[in-house]
Structure 1
Amino acid sequence: MSRLDSNRPAFDTVADWNYPTRILVGAGRIAELAEACRSLGMRAPLLVTDPGLAALPMVDQALEQCRDAGLEVGCFSQIQGNPTGDNVTAGIRAFREGNHDGVIAFGGGSGLDAAKAVALMARQRDDLSLWSLEDRGDNWRHAEADAVLPVVAVPTTAGTGSEVGRASVITDQKAHVKRIIFHPRMMPGAVILDPVLTQGLPAPITAATGMDALSHCLEAWCAPGYHPQAEGIAVEGMRRIREALPRAYRDGNDLEARLDMLTASMMGAAAFQRGLGAMHALAHPLGALFDAHHGLLNAVLMPYVLRANTPAIGEPMVRMSRYLDLPGSGTAGVIDWVLALREDLGIPHTLAELGIDDSRAELVGRMAIEDPSAGGNPIPFDADAYRSLFMAALEGRL
């Protein structure tokens, strides 16, 4: 029995899911990491994570478990909070130098996104640029599908849901823009949702990442596309967030709440294939220009975007407020709930409180309409509307 097996807690919710990929759910399931790698044909995986996690015992234990199982595992941790193309290039170099055959994506959204991009690109032809696979049209067809490497994803935060996504958000440093890189085979072949790995997450990060999960569910719910399955997943994800996020914020050792948040995060990412919207259309350029935390940006932008979309989302907001059993009804009731939740979680009310200013307001508006997320907004805002929305969130004009 490995040390990870002996530390398996008493919390007994355990399940195996296969939507949208193989998912091992439950406290202590990280002990099955080596088996998950082997199931995808890996013998020499590269574990990709961020520097903060690389210094923690959980990563050492995961590496030791893989080595004890006979895997020739390596570790790469040169990942920024908003991962860049240079980070991906360095990861590809480490992958090739170590003669690896697959990737363990270990961490929050940044680590998962960078790891998936490494798996996408490490075996592609040398003249293929990462940016040529930006999520526009059929750009993904430029890549060799059979060259995409297998990934086991292990999320340690409950926010992006990147563990069940077919895309990565990577910052193009030269252009100062976040690009969504897409390929259908980027979906990890196995996921481990182990709430124990999120227990040490600080309360402010729990709040910001949890609000990111809410933004995915909420924008998917409001998107105008026809996708009833995504609607159902989105609204159930929001119900779980309403109940679990305040608990996980108050008590980081509440494993039930932690698992519900991991589940809701995954559900948000599965649902937003229906579409995202203005929250993300603004958060992506603001993250690239100001290097701000993506989840925190979405959390601050949320009520302002809901208010701006009010003419187009009345009926969905009525249904949502009923399903979540909110005190108020319709869009006003949802906004009141969001504001109260943000206050409980210590989320700032304005972008200015994040150190953002209006020096590039015109650029933000232009970048927002170019972001792929803008296509899912209930109202097709132009650059001036996005600039006005940005300024409202900057100054606190709700």
Structure 2
Amino acid sequence: MTLLHWHYPTEILVGEHASSQLASVCKTRSIQRPLFIVDPALTDTQAVRELVLSCQSADLPSSIFSEFSGNPTGEQVEYGIACFLEGNHDGIVTLGGGSSIDIGKAIALVARQQQPLWQFEDVGENWTKADANLIAPVIALPTTAGTGSEVGRASVITDTQRQSKRIIFHPKMLPVQVILDPVLTVELPPHLTAATGMDALSHNLEAYCSPSYHPMAEAIAIEGMRLIKLYLPIAHIDGGNLHARTQMLIASTMGAAAFQKGLGAMHALAHTLGGRYNLHHGLLNAVLMPYVLCANRHYLHEKMLRLSHYLELENEGFDGVLEWILALRKQLHIPHTLSDLGVNVQDQKAIAAQSVLDPAASGNPIHLSQEQYENVFYHALNGTLDL
């Protein structure tokens, strides 16, 4: 039997007001001068001010870096590195969604290395070029329930020269501590709650569908989907429901733990489209989800049958799962087509060609050719399901 190499996440603290433990966690992790990587929309919030003040009051000099976009770029990583070095920081605290966590992990990896960012792209053994002893520790406090980047060993960074997203990887990029505090998510507006929640669903779903063998990840994925089925609609309607918010944070973390099993064509296309159009990653996955499922339909009958039973869907099998996803998207006001997001048909061939080469494509239940990616793109653009 082929040797298998499985990894599981880091230490996770979960609960209401868990973020109040941040200063003590920093000290436990030997972080004396944390750099806060904060989503730009959160920099002036009371929650961020209180967390920074709690560290400063505990004799942990801190500063904030927030000069990055929703799809962080290589140039923005360089700005963050300069801030990290100028402030003589020795660790990073990320506050925000996937963009803040991704750029925070990239800064932590590269800041003290001799090699530049793109040398650590997830290709071959590139990660071995890094001196692991120079990687700064990261504490992650997600304020959205979607990417699960807080338990990931990689970052997705946009290369503006190539107009593409590139995956930066190192095992020690994994945050040393995760704090899941639902109080930090209650201000997330409904449309972002929906998009990030569907992102969490896409991670669990694609991990479940991946043909690679990882029964632990598969079990996590189906339970993650059950939690999303129960709690995403509640969190969308009632953002102040802390129980629903907690369960969605957990489901998001579960999705990222599960997708070490693999992702697929949904993410291959979302990475490509996000790099070209600077669109929200979770929203792209939400739009693409039913079209990619249909492309994989004939290879998923047994898995969809099991999933429909576990989720207690009204109808069983593939059709039951597809009906649930379409109904959930409608309930969350997710656009039905890529056209609704401003994507146009002129890019069809280029997007398909780039998606075939995306690292996520290798985890799809079947290898999709460039022509098949063009077909999925066409259906997603026009809103037709290839049944």
Query: Which TM-score bucket, shorter chain as reference?
Result: over 0.9
Which runs of no fewer than 5 residues in structure 2 stay unpaired? 1-6
Deviation of 1:136 after TM superposition, in Å, equals 1.5
- Partner letter of residue 281 of structure 2? H
Q: Partner of 1:356 in structure 2?
A: 343
Q: Unaligned regions of 5+ residues in structure 1, if any?
A: 1-17
SS in 2 for 1:359: helix
Q: Distance in 1 between matches of 2:68 and 2:208?
A: 32
2:125 maps to 138
- For residues 64-87 of structure 1, the C-alpha deviation after alignment (integer angstroms, 9 at most, x for no partner) is 010011101111000101000011
Distance of 2:46 and 2:344 partners within structure 1 = 39
Deviation at 1:35, TM superposition (A): 1.0
Kindly state the Cα deviation for residue 57 of structure 1 after the two structures are TM-superposed.
Answer: 1.4
Query: What is the distance in 2 between the residues matched to 1:392 and 1:286?
Result: 15
* Structure-2 separation of matches of 1:97 and 1:129: 18
Q: Normalising to structure 2: TM-score of the pair?
A: 0.97
Structure 1 residue ranges, 4+ long, deviating more than 4 angstroms after superposition: none
Deviations 1:100-135 (A, max 9, x none): 00000111000000000000011111xx12112111
Determine the C-alpha separation between the residues in 2 that align with 1:30 and 1:253: 17
Q: 1:142 Cα shift? A: 1.1
Q: 1:43 pairs with 2, 11, 32, which one? A: 32
Question: Structure 2 counterpart of 1:53, which letter?
Answer: L
Q: What amino acid sits opposite 1:287 in the alignment?
A: G
Amino acid at match of 2:117: L
For the 8 Å contact 1:83–1:170, the answer to whether it is kept is yes
The 3-state SS of whatever aligns with 2:200 is helix
**Which one is further off, 50-59 or 360-369?**
50-59
Shift in Å at residue 176 of structure 1?
Answer: 0.3
Partner of 1:115: 104
Post-superposition CA distance 1:27-71 (Å, at most 9, x none): 001100111111111100100012111121111111001001110
Distance in 1, matches of 2:345 and 2:8, equals 42
Among 181, 191, 200, which residue is 2:168 paired with?
Answer: 181
Counterpart in 1 of 2:322? 335
Q: 1:98 to 1:106 in 2, by over 3 A?
A: same
Contact 1:49 1:79 in 2 (8 A): no
Structure 1 position 365 matched with structure 2 position 365: no
Q: What is the match of residue 47 of structure 2?
A: 58
CA distance in 2, matches of 1:261, 1:203: 13
The yes-or-no answer on 1:246 pairing with 2:233 is: yes
Among 250, 255, 267, the residue aligned to 1:263: 250
Q: Is residue 312 of structure 2 the alignment partner of residue 325 of structure 1?
A: yes
Instruction: Say if 2:198 is the partner of 1:214.
Output: no
Q: Deviations over 1:220-246 (max 9, x none)?
A: 000000000000000000000000000
Pairwise CA RMSD: 0.9
Match of 2:266 among 274, 279, 294: 279
In the alignment of these two chains, the number of paired residues is 379
| Matched letter for residue 283 of structure 1 | A
Secondary structure of 1:347's aligned partner? coil
CA distance in 2, matches of 1:174, 1:160: 25
Could you list the per-position Cα deviations for residues 373-398 of structure 1 after superposition, in whole angstroms to 9, with x for gaps in the alignment?
A: 00000010011111111111001011
2:308 is paired with a residue of what secondary structure?
Answer: helix
Q: CA separation in 2, counterparts of 1:330 and 1:279?
A: 20
CA distance in structure 2 between the aligned counterparts of 1:80 and 1:285, rounded to whole angstroms: 17
Structure 2 CA distance for aligned equivalents of residues 340 and 55 of structure 1 = 37
